[in-house]
Every structure is written in structure tokens, then in C-alpha cells.
């Protein structure tokens, strides 16, 4: 099971953490894992590319763990960009959860 925790402060996403494995298929063919990975890493890459945010990123060596923290020191304009991109990420993750709820849960 993939667990996703979204931590907010003043209604803004300040951190998200993914733990666990979907185990919805054999290694290399796990569609839930691939979808969650594509959405989260794509969103993080978009934030890094399209804003000047210097995110704090922690990853597990063998997968199964990702924590991303949004620093407090961002300008208002940069924070707005980060929030739009991460809210979009959350919409996509919720779509996966609706279809594959046996393998992913989101706490928001």
C-alpha cells in the first residue's frame, strides 16, 4: 500500500510524504506505482523547472519513500506557482486513489 500524507499550513501544501509500495503487479509492471511515481516526480520536476523554489527532497535508496518540503522563505509569486503545481498533483493522485483504492491512500 502506498500511503500519501499531505501536510498543510494556512491551507497551503507545505510537505508531502509517500511511503510504501503498491504491490499491484510484478516489479516493473506495477501500474499504480508507475502512475504515482510519474505524477509525483513530474510535479516536483515542474516546480523545480518553472519556479525558483529550492525544495527539500528526501528519497529512499530502494524506492518506497519520498518526502518533499516547501521552504518558508519563498516569495509570494513563487509560492503561488508551487501551490498550483502541487494542488494539480493532488488532483491526479486522488484520481488514481479513486480507481485503485486498494493500493493507495491519501491523507490530506
Question: Of 33, 66, 68, 74, which one is the catalytic site residue?
Answer: 33
21 carries an active-site annotation: yes
Contacts of residues 96-100 at CB distance under 8 Å and 24 or more positions apart, as own/partner, are 96/32, 96/35, 96/36, 96/39, 100/22, 100/24, 100/31, 100/32, 100/35
Cell numbers 510524504: residue? 17
User: Considering 14, 21, 67, 81, which one is annotated as catalytic?
Assistant: 21
Q: Show which residues are catalytic.
A: 21, 33
Amino acid at each position: 500500500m502506498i500511503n500519501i500524507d499531505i501536510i498543510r499550513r494556512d491551507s497551503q501544501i507545505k510537505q508531502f510524504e509517500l511511503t510504501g509500495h503498491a504491490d499491484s503487479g510484478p516489479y516493473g509492471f506495477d501500474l499504480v506505482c508507475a502512475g504515482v511515481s510519474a505524477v509525483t516526480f513530474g510535479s516536483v520536476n515542474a516546480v523545480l523547472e518553472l519556479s525558483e523554489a529550492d525544495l527539500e527532497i528526501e528519497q529512499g535508496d530502494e524506492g518506497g519513500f519520498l518526502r518533499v518540503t516547501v521552504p518558508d522563505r519563498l516569495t509570494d509569486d513563487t509560492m503561488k506557482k508551487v501551490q498550483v503545481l502541487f494542488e494539480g498533483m493532488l488532483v491526479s493522485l486522488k484520481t488514481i486513489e479513486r480507481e485503485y483504492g486498494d493500493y493507495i491512500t491519501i491523507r490530506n
